[in-house]
Structure 1
């Protein structure tokens, strides 16, 4: 009984600490992942010692990783896997091969290892990146279906496949004569497993899931999904391969059947619960004393590892035809040491390939690189844009951000540009074409472009937020722009750049989160659509009609909610703070408060009359009038002496706005 009570206490401690840590991180506008890591440090053996061993929650942590990869497999269909197969296979081999070779060479030369075998082992440890941390961060940011998200996940999945081979080869590093046999055995295991998995996924699993679904018993369906996920993961673990590989393949088995969405919905709560334990378990490995005593060494290792891995990944992604921006984001997203490097490091320590002191330094370095991953992914688009705009690099980098292909008829005009040809984009295009309207689609997916060619729809192949791509789209000849991109950052950047090229363009954008509605509207979108709210409005409309309300009343009510940015139905989380919202959610833009002097030409004008965005490119996000702050002000707001305006834009646009509010001739000319 005492053992059972201790088990429940350990479980409660980890989950409770993760909930508190996640809440604090969320309130600080940080990824909850950082809160989970911090909670593990606090309750672990190097914190308050509420849990003395990581092994106490290790089984739950492994289940969390299995559910993470299973959910990824369900969402990451075979069609999508084929789309990135080149970089998944060849690119990951290049990345791991170069990392192992360079680390082995450099560590041997500087004397950090005694033998080449130890150098190869160290290279293998550093070659892996974190599938769990990157996937969690991409999921939180809504970027799993973006080009850079797919590239990163493809490489990570290949690394997980390679982990089994590494574990098989590791014991032979002390006796290189047996390495060929070990590698052949591991490859044979992988081949046999994938063959059996393919057969089961094609003929057995769909039939089983169909029979279970026909019972209409949700509990039975959930149990079957869990058994499939953990069962396949267990098989790969017994074969000496990684549980991640098994869980991912299990997800792929049901990704193409009719019940995939239902299975995913059932697993998501379990995934998030157990994944929090996994990240807490990583936090428990961080020893503050080791970090403090070896701060300089670990800091140097972190810098070398993160810069070195990014420098290896960047040219590889470029080599496979992706844009410079995609390459920068992918390189900074994969520059950490993976959580399963812990597994390799532990086996290496047992094999005598790494000393205890080196092992502890490696643990500290790995944990810190994992902490930096969400930050790197958040600011990588900003860094990519700044590098692209460096004068002496711009001409060279142009080749990596230009359009790859385009198909636009001669004399094409009065069309609607649709950015993104996913599920939403395809529906929009179908609606427009069915009514006889011309469309031009922008997408960076090879699979999407193939469909567009087949359907004879005009397209541009490239990143929709690229200035060069937008120039090719000739927005001045378009009637409207519909933004249906899966990436929130690209949506904001595309909106701003499109209105710079065509200030009067009618833009409708899809919002991924509630907090983006005001930002996108203020940046110039004529209409911002939030899918969940739209579904609620349609359900409400139907119910009101059923209850006998007149159609005109229903229409007026729904349009009123839309025109008011859904304010009547959305719940505000805390106090509105545009300054903080911009800093955290639109890091690619700068912001500055500017005061209106008594002789400013803007005094007495409304925001609509001043047309500040069209004249200078900046957007006014807030206006302070005395002690009152108007957040996301409307176009009818009148500017008065003493008002302070929060302007957001590029540095040159902010400078132009400064000139505008001080120079009367400038406003008269416009």
Structure 2
């Protein structure tokens, strides 16, 4: 009789149980993650009704691989550019909520009499919401097109990044058992340094390789290469003292900027699902029902802390960031649960053997309960808002409305902001690259060389020359690169007193470069020698090779930017940036084959008259129609982008019959934007009707909103006269709107001159 390894027996048991439970949970329309946890509980060592897993250690290894694939996939969906685009609202709200929930969790743990480590991990466990559960609830409740979902999705991006950083910091603190602020700061600086190095190097190298060998990359080779890169980064990151999950996340975020990102994500899905299932099953296997019963009271307390704490802090953070109370409350109540990251953080504590055994089942219990409450919290958000509207004092409501309105103003970026931002990027990024190259050469390369050749002045000199050649382009950029020449010239010519700060900025760049040059020399030679020679070598080298360094750095920068923007450039023309006034917002809807809109022109449908909605874009196959004319006909499978309120969109969607593919379309940057113009006395459009103002012709856009004396008018009538101090919201071509804003006073002057003549 052939002997079957115990691992195969255990795998067959857990996957069979998982398959059965999954079917049941799908039938009941419940999250599959909870089914996996239940399957793990049933086959785990703490439940003896069914056959029990014996080789738990091996299953834990598989579960760790599952975490790696989950974080790798999260990185593919993440993208650092997406982090930049989430906006101030999501950034402020997400950081505020995570910070407050961390503190709340720690305080709650201390009040329950738990250790500091348990309390710290508890804060991390309850700080992160569940992306999977929220997406499913949005889909089931038909909320995907509502305006607040964009805020929620942005906050989830911030939370995902915070979760990864939390895992690193919690690991560091748990191992050192130190809570000193200096050590925490050192860990954060070390993490920032390595993240920058890995991201810059990864973006420069890997997309180039994938693009160069693109013709040779079939599905099999893409999958194998991406998984190999993932585990390679996991190895590098663990060697640097960080967690394997961080390495997987970093490589995923690097590959997210490549043109292969969607294909990798698609090919990786079966692996992610398989190993992810094993991970969640292992979560269930570690649950001790006895501990769940024993700690039922703390579990109930933490459920209340999560539900009310996250609702309150997200709502407060969103209000602080300038969102209306309704949208803030809807966002807060949507995020009132914990999920997959909570399991990972709880499992991390067990793996490091720094948390108590009861914390893990409590985290699972809280997650299960809050998962079931999430849809009800989402449904209750609007009735709760209506109740608050009735009970809140009039002064409070007016203040909140004024505060929200004031933050909607599109701020103008000053020249100083642009200069400081560009200088900070130049100094930080190039300094990190220089330090990284010097450390790699003076430690790794030098150690390898000295293992074969004794350390002498000559060998150190050779290493120094090689390292200097590698860092010289970045030192050149640190001293000479000026990325925002227009802003620099404007400041220099505007006021004589502005030149002093600019000169100080230039001097600071030179001093930093000299310090880095001294650091390079000090890594290979004695300190006095380094300090005396640093400035001379740098000046001499830059004087001789200035042009070559400039050209070489430009090539490096062009390659990096090309790799960074490759995915965006390939998909340009199908997305756009939005700025949202009031409750009106953009949403994509798909015209189904049996819609009653098919075959009719926009003029015949009278969508604006019947629903109060404007159609701003139609996607038809590979073509895109911006701001379609009234004579444009709708066809099956057209994707139309409209602007309206949540209620208007809900009414209109019934007639359009949106595709149920579960996609939530996020707007990015393209040519069509929503811009705000405040009418002044000198503007030539003042006193004219909207129809005769020429705005549609000059901007290829439409006025979708008007503010007058505190009153907001959505979709104003074309016969309305534009008055002084009116605020117009125009959806149209970005460049044409900018040109219109630039010349609106000049045109007025010409008209006045004509009238006088």
Query: Normalised by the size of structure 2, how large is the TM-score?
Result: 0.51
Matched, 1:151 2:149: no
- 1:44 shift after superposition: 1.2
Aligned-partner SS, 2:309: helix
1:57 paired residue number:
59
Q: Is the 8 A contact 1:298 1:364 kept in 2?
A: no
- Residues 392-401 or 336-345, more deviating: 392-401
CA distance in 1, matches of 2:610, 2:81: 36
Q: Is the 8 A contact 2:92 2:321 kept in 1?
A: no
Deviations 1:41-70 (A, max 9, x none): 111112235214653322222222322332
1:94 paired residue number:
96
2:128 paired residue number:
129
CA 1:122–1:70: 2 relative to 1, 3 Å: closer
Q: Is the 8 A contact 1:236 1:242 kept in 2?
A: yes
- 1:226 shift after superposition: 0.8
- 1:250 shift after superposition: 1.3
CA 1:393–1:279: 2 relative to 1, 3 Å: farther
2:269 paired residue number:
268
CA distance in 1, matches of 2:138, 2:194: 29
Q: CA RMSD in A?
A: 4.4
Aligned-partner SS, 2:656: strand
2:577 paired residue number:
448
CA distance in 2, matches of 1:243, 1:484: 44
- 1:164 shift after superposition: 0.8
Q: Is the 8 A contact 1:229 1:250 kept in 2?
A: yes
Q: Is the 8 A contact 2:101 2:127 kept in 1?
A: no
1:39 paired residue number:
39
Q: Is the 8 A contact 2:17 2:39 kept in 1?
A: yes
Deviations 1:335-386 (A, max 9, x none): 42711332454378x45xx6x5xx41x2222001222344344333312111
2:75 paired residue number:
73
Deviations 1:574-593 (A, max 9, x none): xxxxxxxxxxxxxxxxxxxx
Written as runs of structure 1 = structure 2, the 5 A alignment for 1:474-513 is 476=610, 478=612, 497-498=648-649, 507-513=655-661
Q: Is the 8 A contact 2:90 2:152 kept in 1?
A: no
CA 1:201–1:194: 2 relative to 1, 3 Å: same
Unaligned runs of 5+ in 2: 411-572, 588-606, 620-641, 664-757
Matched, 1:382 2:382: no
CA 1:384–1:495: 2 relative to 1, 3 Å: closer
- 1:321 shift after superposition: 3.3
2:11 paired residue number:
11
Which aligned runs of 4 or more in structure 1 are off by greater than 6 angstroms?
A: 1-4, 138-145, 400-404, 482-485
Aligned-partner SS, 1:112: coil
Written as runs of structure 1 = structure 2, the 5 A alignment for 1:627-646 is none
2:335 paired residue number:
333
CA distance in 1, matches of 2:382, 2:617: 20
Q: Is the 8 A contact 2:105 2:120 kept in 1?
A: no
2:187 paired residue number:
186
Query: Normalised by the size of structure 1, how large is the TM-score?
Result: 0.57
Aligned-partner SS, 2:97: helix
Q: Is the 8 A contact 1:40 1:279 kept in 2?
A: yes
Deviations 1:380-430 (A, max 9, x none): 3312111122142577578479777599xxxxxxxxxxxxxxxxxxxxxx9
Q: Is the 8 A contact 1:69 1:244 kept in 2?
A: yes
Q: Is the 8 A contact 1:134 1:373 kept in 2?
A: no
- 1:310 shift after superposition: 3.5
Deviations 1:183-233 (A, max 9, x none): 244224312321222223322001221244321433222100111223223
1:160 paired residue number:
164
Aligned-partner SS, 1:448: coil
CA 1:319–1:123: 2 relative to 1, 3 Å: farther
CA distance in 1, matches of 2:243, 2:315: 27
Deviations 1:562-620 (A, max 9, x none): xxxxxxxxxxxxxxxxxxxxxxxxxxxxxxxxxxxxxxxxxxxxxxxxxxxxxxxxxxx
CA distance in 2, matches of 1:194, 1:21: 40
CA 1:67–1:43: 2 relative to 1, 3 Å: same
- 1:24 shift after superposition: 0.7
- 1:121 shift after superposition: 2.9
CA distance in 2, matches of 1:68, 1:267: 10
2:27 paired residue number:
27
> How many residue pairs align between the two structures?
446
CA distance in 2, matches of 1:499, 1:514: 16
- 1:461 shift after superposition: 7.1
CA distance in 2, matches of 1:329, 1:376: 15
Aligned-partner SS, 1:336: coil
1:82 paired residue number:
84
- 1:331 shift after superposition: 5.3
Deviations 1:275-308 (A, max 9, x none): 1112111122222222234434433343334433
Deviations 1:443-489 (A, max 9, x none): xx9x7226x9xxxxxx8775569xxxxxxx9755857769999xxxx
Q: Is the 8 A contact 2:300 2:366 kept in 1?
A: no
Written as runs of structure 1 = structure 2, the 5 A alignment for 1:525-540 is none
